[in-house]
Amino acid sequence: MSRKVPAIRLPRMSTEYVIPLAMAVGALLALLIPNDLYDRSALVHKLTSAVTTVVPSVAEFARISNVPGTTRVTLAMLWVLVIPLAVALGMSAKTFPRPGYELRRFGWRPWLATIVLVIALAVVLPYVLEIPPDYTTGLSWDAGFYRFLARHPLAMGMSGGFYCWLCALLLGGLGRSLILVVRNAPDEARRRETQR
């Protein structure tokens, strides 16, 4: 008999409205954090610098922003929330209601695709992203996007909130799948033995 993956009964809003909630948190941080907080507070400076070491793209967006201090602290705080949010989403039965069923129905391909997405979006991209110097005059869509974010801190906060939510969702799904595989491994081994 397969073991159930642990699930936490989270409030309805935490799973169904988590995207606009994450974007709203990013927007509020961008509106409320003063631009000089990064230079004025030694603690905020130290914590933000630690996050920027792990996620260098935070410094990239701060470099192009009209309010670099606000952008740096806002994005750093959003990235700090990724791990707790990933745990909450991964343990929520509403976010991933039937991981065992999905794994049996579709096999390992979705799980491997999730691993690739996690590595690409939550690890590689935030680490290697470099905004080109010509973004101010470039005609490509990404140059226009960077210009828009640089001029509008609110949009920077909302975009950061959405991106961090996406990374948390992918990490939560990967973690829940790993729990499923580890907990069901002994039962799967016994089932194969009985089929021989």
Residue 1 lies in a domain: no
pTM of the full predicted structure?
0.78
C-alpha 138/C-alpha 179 separation (Å) is: 46
Residue 65 near residue 156, CB atoms below 8 Å: yes
Q: How many helices (H) and strands (E) does the chain have?
A: 12, 0
DSSP string, 166-187: HHHHHHHHHHHHHHHHHHHHHH
Beta-bridged to residue 92, according to DSSP, are 8
Residue 139 lies in a domain: yes
Beta-bridged to residue 8, according to DSSP, are 92
pLDDT the model gives residue 8: 47
Domain that holds residue 170: 12-179
Residue 187 lies in a domain: no
CA 31 to chain centre: 21
Q: Give me the number of domains the chain comprises.
A: 1
User: Which DSSP symbol is given to 35?
Assistant: T
Residue 128 lies in a domain: yes
Residue 5 lies in a domain: no
Residue 89 lies in a domain: yes
User: Which DSSP symbol is given to 8?
Assistant: B
Mean of all residue pLDDT scores within the chain: 79
Residue 74 lies in a domain: yes
Residue pLDDT, tens place only, 26-42: 999 999 999 999 999 99
User: Which DSSP symbol is given to 1?
Assistant: -
Residue 135 near residue 47, CB atoms below 8 Å: no
